[in-house]
Structure 1
Amino acid sequence: MDFTEVSLTALRVLRAVAEQGRFTAAATALGYTQSAVSRQIASIERLAGTQLLERRRDGVRLTPAGHLVLRRAMVVLDEIDATARELSGLPAQAGTVHVGWFPSAGAVLLPRALTALRRTDPAITVVTREGSTPALVRALRAGSVDLALLGSAPPFRPPDAETPALVLQTLTERSLSLAVPVGHPLARRDFVDIADLHGQRWIAGPASGEDQLMGVWPGLDERPQIAHTARDWLAKLHLVAAGFGITTVPESLAPAAPDGVRILPVRGGPQEQRRLVLARLPGPQAEPCGRVAQALRTAAIDLDTPH
């Protein structure tokens, strides 16, 4: 066994597979064929002399040895990237923090936190990426993001069952609300009765294997009529403003709603609470990461404070 012969390509492939959770998804992200990804993983496992990935019916997970190799690989890949930047004449990105965010966090909270951080800590570079909660949890485990803003719904279970458990902090907990066109009959009052949701046209996110159908009121006792599907929150809200349907939104998105949209609470049924959670791996935090986390917490407090 001579692990010094492992290639940078194999390390990048291992990182992508750990992050994506599937060989096919990693191949798509890297622009490789699935067979090329499989060959790279087989090569690195052969050099390591042990299995680095556990193949399961629902995808792949890192073994303890895989976690060890990936943790070391991230150091190597970061140094290679820093060297490439310096050779190209760009300043080294000292104090870079990678943040993943659940879609609704990117409309209001994240920009506010980054704006404040630019004033207080201009030397810190923050690189962000959007993703679903399951994808961001995998990215945390893979080490490709340092912090993740995750969405959570009742019964508010941990986002995965892997060990060690992630460190979680609730930033906001708000009721799910409804976005309706200002000219819609539902917009005539200051709230929507749940009984009035029957027969409505909904604008929802596309359903997938790991994402719930976001945009339709949970527990609706009828088959919803989906008028339009859109993954992007802003697209949904503009479709609402144009009068093409209604959609659910976290209450925290109200400041981002365009003209022509009313954000209203829903009454007459169980409270539908939604949390925005800040997650990270356990262990000591580097100072830049801690500063970014504090900026996110401060922005969340500001959003919850009446002005």
Structure 2
Amino acid sequence: MPRSKIELRHVRYIIAAAESGSFRRAAQDLGVEQSAISRRIRDVEDEIGAQLFRRHSAGVHLTEIGRQFLRQASPVAHQIGSALESARTIAAAGRHLRIGVFGPLTMGFLSELFGAFRQDRPGTRLQFSEASSPELIAAVRRRQLDVGVVAEASPGRGYAMTHLWNEPVYLAMAESDPLADRKAVRWCDLRNHHFVVTDLPTGDFAKAYLERQLMAPRDALRIEQLSVTRESLMQIVAHGGGVTIAGSAHVRFGLSGITFRLIEDAMLRYGAVHPSGSLPRDLERLLTLAKSLSERDQAWFTRQRLIRPEHRRGPRVDRLRGARGRTLDRLQ
């Protein structure tokens, strides 16, 4: 069969012109230039060797050949349009992103990010799971997750990483604890305290993190891991059953019976790990929104009790430390 250059849009333009009786009104209805309507209809007329429309001062009307053409072409065009719409609906219903998170979704950065994404991509479903940072990275490398939000992870093979925010670490204790009278605490003040953590992935991380920071023999540390939820753990702390470490989400919302104090020089780096190379459009959009949030001004980060990441390294390390110190002062 001879190869034709006629496309679906040619037929759409002919239908619109026939229904409106004017190339100008057809262009307005379709949101295109009038010259595009005229040119595409001329393409069809040139290919079949006859006029589809008769032009006159009031507009256009179909010729007999034009009416015959539309009687056969219109049902096909409508069927294709219906098929495309059905396919779009099915594709939209199947769109989803698999997101792994280390920590609660109440973290200020994440609640802002996913709220903005849902507004921007209402047709994309977000599927969440929670795991440790190493487990999330492994799942991203195996393509079982589209993106993972991790803490204290380094770039590695098989995935890319985007630094999103820094978060101060707080000590959570009962209001009656003697350390509650201080503005901030240091790690050396905490070596003899009884810590409680959960047996969730965040609890495993907290235990390992405390062991590194307290710099004491493991048998001298008092870290108890309990099979409870984060909410129950905080109730145990409020009743004097031990102290624990917490992030900005707990501090922002506050908890009855608990006092939070900043731990000096304690900060966690959070980032997004995702596959290297080309990415699906929804994932690209999520990462674009995340990067945009990470570049907001310091005032926004301070309101969230977070620390803005340094996207550009300054010439002097002292300057960075000084800036971080001033930020921590505002967070107390």
TM-score range, shorter chain: 0.5 to 0.7
Residues 207 and 214 of structure 1: CA distance in aligned 2, closer, same or farther (over 3 Å):
farther
2:280 to 273, 286, 300: 286
**Which residue does the alignment assign to 2:185?**
192
How far has the Cα of 1:227 moved from its partner?
4.5
**Which residue does the alignment assign to 1:243?**
240
Residue 263 in 1 paired to residue 260 in 2?
yes
How far has the Cα of 1:147 moved from its partner?
0.8
User: What TM-score, normalized to structure 2?
Assistant: 0.54
Deviations along 1:132-154, one digit per CA (max 9) or x if unpaired, are 111111110111111110110xx
**Which residue does the alignment assign to 1:140?**
140
Tell me the distance in 2 between the aligned counterparts of 1:279 and 1:95.
Answer: 20
1:144-163 map, 5 Å: 144-152=144-152, 157-158=154-155, 160=156, 163=157
How far has the Cα of 1:283 moved from its partner?
0.9
For the 8 Å contact 1:101–1:149, the answer to whether it is kept is yes
Deviations along 1:99-121, one digit per CA (max 9) or x if unpaired, are 11112555443333222222232
**Which residue does the alignment assign to 2:216?**
221
Residue 97 in 1 paired to residue 94 in 2?
no
Deviations along 1:208-239, one digit per CA (max 9) or x if unpaired, are 9x944257362342522235525744333332
How far has the Cα of 1:92 moved from its partner?
5.5
How far has the Cα of 1:126 moved from its partner?
1.1
Deviations along 1:276-304, one digit per CA (max 9) or x if unpaired, are 11111111122211222234445556661
Deviations along 1:254-288, one digit per CA (max 9) or x if unpaired, are 22442222221224xxx333111111111112221
Alignment coverage as a number of residue pairs: 209
For the 8 Å contact 2:98–2:146, the answer to whether it is kept is yes
**Which residue does the alignment assign to 2:49?**
none
Among all aligned residue pairs of Structure 1 and Structure 2, give the percentage whose two residues are the same amino acid.
Answer: 18
1:28-177 map, 5 Å: 93-104=93-104, 107-152=107-152, 157-158=154-155, 160=156, 163-164=157-158, 166-177=159-170
Tell me the distance in 2 between the aligned counterparts of 1:207 and 1:98.
Answer: 20
Tell me the distance in 2 between the aligned counterparts of 1:301 and 1:258.
Answer: 30
User: What TM-score, normalized to structure 1?
Assistant: 0.58
Residues 174 and 186 of structure 1: CA distance in aligned 2, closer, same or farther (over 3 Å):
same
Residues 110 and 254 of structure 1: CA distance in aligned 2, closer, same or farther (over 3 Å):
same
Tell me the distance in 1 between the aligned counterparts of 2:235 and 2:136.
Answer: 27
In structure 1, the gaps of 5 or more residues are 1-85
Tell me the distance in 2 between the aligned counterparts of 1:115 and 1:109.
Answer: 10
Tell me the distance in 1 between the aligned counterparts of 2:292 and 2:257.
Answer: 30
Tell me the distance in 1 between the aligned counterparts of 2:165 and 2:250.
Answer: 12
Q: Which has the higher helix share?
A: 2
Residues 296 and 181 of structure 1: CA distance in aligned 2, closer, same or farther (over 3 Å):
farther
Structure showing greater radius of gyration is 2
**Which residue does the alignment assign to 1:277?**
271
Tell me the distance in 2 between the aligned counterparts of 1:295 and 1:102.
Answer: 19
Tell me the distance in 2 between the aligned counterparts of 1:298 and 1:261.
Answer: 34
For the 8 Å contact 2:188–2:214, the answer to whether it is kept is no
CA RMSD of aligned residues (A): 3.3
Question: Secondary structure of the residue that 1:272 maps to in structure 2?
Answer: strand
**Partner amino acid, structure 1, of 2:190:** L
In structure 2, the gaps of 5 or more residues are 1-85, 305-332
Tell me the distance in 1 between the aligned counterparts of 2:125 and 2:246.
Answer: 30
Question: Secondary structure of the residue that 1:292 maps to in structure 2?
Answer: helix
**Which residue does the alignment assign to 2:309?**
none
